Chain A
Amino acid sequence: MLPRQDLYPGYDVLAKRDGPSWNAKTRAVLDERLAIGPEMRRFFDEAEWMTLKALAARIVPQPADREVPVPVAALVDYKLAIGEHDGYRDATMPDEREAWRQGLRALDAEARAQFGARFHELSTWAQDELLKLAERGELTDAAWASMPSKLFFKHRVLGDVVKAYYAHPTAWNEIGWGGPASPRGYVRMDFDRRDPWEAAEAKPGREDEAYAENLRVGD
């Protein structure tokens, strides 16, 4: 595993907001998403919220020096508050909202039973140990009721938390995705070709070139 790097230095997909790659609808949708603050919470209660935030920090960890972290927990809360659904559930699972409440309560119960503290109070090592057990379906505290911890981890934790993070422009910058592209689209399609409005990747020793290119994506 390579460590996370600043692979697209200076790239900000939001620099393209007022250009030909964003239509009016896209601007409206992203404005709404970017207005979601880190403590915006409508669906979860206080106890669930602490657990969710700790959980999100383990599933999609963010650099400690990031000035404005992606509000992952708030994005998950937002999805549940507006009642957005996947469109299916395993026969052994309750619906999305109930699964989340039940799963977060159960994780907390497991933390207390195994480590004597609430989930968000545990060290990251202990949190990861519990998450690995959930991933394998080996958490079976009564608080899970009939919901398999494995499916909670796969469908809710991985599904909702990961999608929340990668719905945010900060995550798009990190991976060098071009972002919204209507109506302009793209022109250069071949290997190792980029349009001037796409992120430039830092090649070893040539980081300054990428940085300069990335400041121009909104031109």
Chain B
Amino acid sequence: MRIPGLGNAADNPKHGTPGDDPEHHPRARDGRAPNVMRIGEWVPMRQHRDEDEVDFAVVGTGAGGGTLACRLAEAGFSVVAFDAGPYFRPLEDFASDESHQSKLYWTDERIVDGENPLQMGSNNSGKAVGGSTVHYAMVALRFRPEWFKARTLMGYGADWPIDWREMWHYYDQVEDDLKISGPVNYPWGPHRRRYHRRAHEINAAAKVLARGAEAMGIDWTPTPLATISAPRGDAPPCVYRGFCTLGCSTNAKQSVLVTYLPRALKAGAEIRDLAMVGRIETSNGRATGVHYHREGRWRFQRAKNVVVAGYAIETPRLLLMSANREFPDGLANSSGLVGRNLMVQGNQAVWGVFNEEIRSYKGPPSLAISEHWNYDDKGSGPFAKDFFGGYSYMSQGPLPQLWANTQASAHGLWGEALVAEMQRYNHVAGLKVVSEYMPQERNRVTLSDVKDRYGLPVARITYSWCDNDKALNRHALKFLRQALEAAGGREIWDQGDDTCHLNGTARMGNDKRTSVVDADCRSWDIPNLWICDGSVFPTVGGVNPSLTIQAIALRTADRIFAARGA
């Protein structure tokens, strides 16, 4: 059996170049970049010399940087986008294998501490052209409108300097660009446009969520996902292989690698893979370009504007590493907030065993969702809310290595107990939250004394829960346990230690004393320096952040165009 337009080619990489090794030799060079949609093919790429002063140097090509680079190039700006990671060709480079695909993660050393040290490197950190969108779970959700005024309307965190109605416009745009597959009617929040593709069929693990939600009397829905349910150009619909968080080898996933970046190249942007930016240069209060390491040496790219889009660890790290005589505390840091208010999201879960075969490894991992606790501010009875913020929860589909590691590190099983429990793999289902943790200044990214392979200081990541976070965790685990039990789960246990996503280390705001960038994501201190990733979030909400990062990137592009027109 062969899937037309896909299987034959993927099984016969005859166009492969001898010695082609994307992890050690850049692919985007010599006037061309990989055509990620076709085996062995290339697309032309405009290139700039280091001494050319380009309009924009963009550091990072993920949800923020890749999306913005595309829009800037399409508006006619000269753009060079840098990424420390490889330029993968999914059809050729992606194996169906958990171990091997860890090549998608940022696994350079980082040091963690605090009362609740974070686990880094896998689900929250990408190192590839396309960033973490290459391995994300594709969950495409909008913020609740009130979250943009969390302080004023809900009494916690900080207000965003952007109005939700404006965000709604940009959410429409990014959902169109990614052809999101979703339900006909979304149960929560104000009216939104119909999704562009039908919702995906839900698997047994998602039906467990549905049963539980219905028993608890709350709404659920098939999850809006950035993987297509009908063909799009060279991309086939999702085949439900279930390796989404390890890279999509068929290109059904609408990552930045296969959406905005091909558009960016077509519009004249240059992408430099395996290019680690180590310092931003300034002169007379303005950024003048970036020092980057590529092909064994340090180089300097001149630029009229610099965009930092490295996500909430690498972005503050770069700003802090760029400290110089003009800016001794690091760039954009007159507020002292660069690196502070690091926010992850709770990713706690309950797991149980079912009489039926579930086989949750089939299909995208999170095919069903409930956002009930993002929109119900009070609750009642045993589920009265005694904390700020909310959470969504989704069905899960861990593959064997992840599942075994969860059973060992979070459930404490090893030896015969572990190997026997693992045999129930096909009968397990779980519910997992994405929950809203509070911004706290003590949670932060700083520079350690340890140096990485480029000779740059390694990031130290300090993280502790506050009482509100702990109260939310308790509520979520209690509710999920009851929902899973109502769905028929037995021998339920709590996974209490997991977190996901990274946000908040360069927050946006209306006041330069309490924020790092303004509403346009432009640094208050350096007028030609922008930040474009999850770092700018003042609060984190109870949904996956990628759609919001991309919506803000589209808005930032429009604000840059408006400034040029003025």
- Is there a chain B Cβ closer than 8 Å to A184's Cβ? yes
- Bound Cα distance from A154 to B418, whole angstroms: 14
Q: Is the interface of B mostly helix, strand, loop or mixed?
A: loop
- Is there a chain B Cβ closer than 8 Å to A35's Cβ? no
- Bound Cα distance from A145 to B287, whole angstroms: 46
With both chains docked as a complex, state the minimum distance between the C-beta of B475 and any C-beta of chain A, in angstroms.
27
Chain A residue total in the interface (Cβ 8 A) = 67
- Bound Cα distance from A167 to B403, whole angstroms: 12
Of A23, A182, A184, most buried by chain B (CB within 10 Å of CB) is A182
Interface residues in A50-87 (C-beta closer than 8 Å to B) = 58-61, 84-87
- Bound Cα distance from A95 to B111, whole angstroms: 10
From known contacts A23-B95, A85-B109, A177-B361, infer whether A29 and B100 are also in contact, taking CB-CB under 8 Å.
yes
Chain B residue total in the interface (Cβ 8 A) = 80
B423 lies within 8 A of A175 (CB): yes
Instruction: Mark each residue of chain B from 83 to 124: 1 if its CB lies under 8 Å from any CB of chain A, else 0.
Output: 000000000111111111010011111111100011111100
Which of B143-151, B212-220, B240-248, B548-556 forms part of the interface with chain A? B240-248
- Is there a chain B Cβ closer than 8 Å to A114's Cβ? no
Q: Inside 8 A of A59's CB, which chain B residues have their CB?
A: 414-415, 418
Q: Inside 8 A of A135's CB, which chain B residues have their CB?
A: 412
With both chains docked as a complex, state the minimum distance between the C-beta of B424 and any C-beta of chain A, in angstroms.
8
- Is there a chain B Cβ closer than 8 Å to A147's Cβ? no
In the complex, which of the residues B6, B122, B359 contacts A183, with contact meaning CB atoms closer than 8 Å?
A: B6
From known contacts A29-B95, A177-B425, infer whether A184 and B241 are also in contact, taking CB-CB under 8 Å.
yes
From known contacts A159-B409, A189-B204, infer whether A194 and B359 are also in contact, taking CB-CB under 8 Å.
yes
A181 lies within 8 A of B241 (CB): yes
Q: Count contacts between A and B, CB distance < 8 Å.
A: 231
With both chains docked as a complex, state the minimum distance between the C-beta of A186 and any C-beta of chain B, in angstroms.
4
Interface residues in B36-71 (C-beta closer than 8 Å to A) = none
B120 lies within 8 A of A158 (CB): no
Q: Inside 8 A of B358's CB, which chain A residues have their CB?
A: 191
- Bound Cα distance from A193 to B201, whole angstroms: 14
B109 lies within 8 A of A90 (CB): no
- Bound Cα distance from A106 to B374, whole angstroms: 48
B404 lies within 8 A of A201 (CB): no
Chain B: CB-nearest residue to A25: B95
- Bound Cα distance from A198 to B360, whole angstroms: 13
In the complex, which of the residues A25, A85, A182 contacts B108, with contact meaning CB atoms closer than 8 Å?
A: A85
Q: Inside 8 A of A163's CB, which chain B residues have their CB?
A: 99, 401, 404-405
- Bound Cα distance from A17 to B404, whole angstroms: 23
Chain B: CB-nearest residue to A158: B408
A/B interface sample: 12 pairs, CB < 8 A = A2-B423, A3-B416, A29-B97, A87-B120, A87-B122, A88-B110, A167-B98, A182-B10, A182-B243, A184-B241, A189-B363, A194-B359
